[in-house]
Amino acid sequence: MSEAAEAPETAQGKQPTITPLRVVIALCLFAPFVAMLWVSSYAKTEPLFAGIPFFYWYQMLWVLISTALTMIAYKLWQLDQRARKGGDAR
């Protein structure tokens, strides 16, 4: 069996589609969905923060966290794209 048949992406000089960096990007984008859809984890009133029940301030905190994670994912995606274009130039 030839090497081209075993690993067609590496034989042609292409990088694999799924990379560790892309997994991190996916996790950054997926985490807010898990946090918000798992309602039973935050469906309570205690602890209060400035008189605001946990249910509300937890969701507002995730707005900020989601923004930060989306920015990180975007910057990592740019890094990934630059690395892929640099690898294609060989």
Quickly state the pLDDT bin for 12 (edges 50, 70, 90).
low
> Phi/psi of residue 50, each to 5°?
55, 35
Average predicted confidence (pLDDT) for the chain: 85
Q: Taking the model in full, what pTM does it have? A: 0.74
Residue 9 confidence (pLDDT) above 80: no
Write the pLDDT tens digit of every residue in 31-62.
999 999 999 999 999 999 999 999 999 999 99
